């Protein structure tokens, strides 16, 4: 029927106008490099999913989960900065927001603060001007068990150099999220494929499917091979 309607010059004219102006508005994103556009494309068929964001930083700025939250998702946000978590508690009330360090052990550790809310706050000391602060530390498995979270769809890890420790404290086979994004600031793809983080993910049947800016994207092999269908508009 559509083909027959488009045979009319008038209808075809307005059809062209619609196609031009409906797609003229630019895509909006919160991720620093627009990573959330790709994330939302992959996860578009899940209306009320669950995410875990380790190193969540800010509820909006640079967030790879806010668009999902707007779509009805909720989950767990974790950061070493109390100020970051205070902001999440104010603006992401459906989420569980935790002021913790995540590593490969349960106990206490220190993090190094540049300012109360800063993307470079880290468990790794970058310079002598940073403030050293004691903080409770848990594995990701412990957090998920404590919150009775048996499964979730998306994991983001952005912890300024401590990604390996986070992965070592996480049971990939048990939770098996559909998508994992991990920050990688320094390595090229060739080097990254040789890294311990990448090796652990590959051993657990994950495949590197994309890199946008400083973020690497992994999916279980059974989904990765369907990625062309998942990202269709």
Tens digit of each residue's pLDDT (9 = 90 or more) over 142-193: 999 999 998 999 999 999 889 999 999 999 999 999 999 999 877 788 888 8
Q: What is the pTM of this model?
A: 0.87
Pick the range with the lowest mean pLDDT from 25-29, 42-46, 176-180, 221-225.
25-29
Q: Domains in the chain, ordered, with CATH?
A: 29-104+140-230 (3.40.50.150)
**pLDDT for the residue 1:** 57
Q: How many residues does the chain have?
A: 233
Q: Which of 196, 206, 213 has its CA nearest to residue 158?
A: 213
Say how far apart CA 111 and CA 96 lie, in whole Å.
21
Residues 6+ apart with CB under 8 A from 173: 204
Nearest to 227 by CA among 51, 41, 71: 41
Q: How far, in Å, CA of 214 to CA of 223, rounded?
A: 22
Average pLDDT of the chain, as a whole number: 89
Phi and psi, residue 51, nearest 5°: -130, 160
Q: Which of 122, 128, 41, 53 is nearest to 92 (CA)?
A: 53
Per the CB < 8 A criterion, the answer to whether 62 and 54 are in contact is no
Tens digits of per-residue pLDDT, 62-90?
Answer: 999 999 999 999 999 999 999 999 999 99
Q: What is the pLDDT of residues 121-148, one digit of tens each?
A: 988 898 889 999 999 999 999 999 999 9
Q: What is the pLDDT of residue 68?
A: 97
């Amino acid at each position: 029927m559509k083909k027959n309607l488009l045979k009319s010059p008038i209808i075809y004219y307005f059809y062209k106008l619609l196609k031009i102006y409906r797609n003229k508005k630019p895509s909006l994103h919160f991720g620093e490099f627009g990573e959330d556009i790709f994330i939302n494309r992959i996860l578009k068929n899940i209306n009320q999913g669950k995410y875990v964001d380790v190193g969540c930083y800010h509820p909006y700025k640079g967030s790879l989960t806010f668009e999902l939250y707007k779509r009805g998702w909720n989950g767990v946000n974790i950061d070493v900065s109390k100020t970051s978590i205070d902001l999440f508690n104010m603006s992401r009330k459906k989420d569980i927001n935790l002021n913790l360090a995540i590593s490969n052990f349960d106990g206490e550790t220190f993090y190094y603060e540049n300012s109360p809310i800063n993307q470079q706050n880290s468990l790794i000391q970058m310079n002598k001007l940073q403030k050293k602060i004691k903080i409770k530390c848990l594995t990701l498995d412990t957090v998920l068990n404590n919150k009775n979270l048996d499964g979730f769809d998306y994991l983001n890890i952005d912890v300024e150099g401590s990604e390996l420790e986070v992965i070592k404290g996480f049971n990939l086979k048990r939770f098996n999220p559909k998508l994992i994004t991990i920050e990688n600031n320094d390595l090229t793809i060739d080097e990254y494929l040789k890294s311990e983080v990448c090796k652990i993910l590959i051993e657990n049947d994950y495949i590197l499917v994309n890199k946008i800016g400083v973020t690497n994207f992994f999916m279980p092999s059974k989904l990765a091979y369907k990625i062309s269908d998942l990202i269709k508009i």
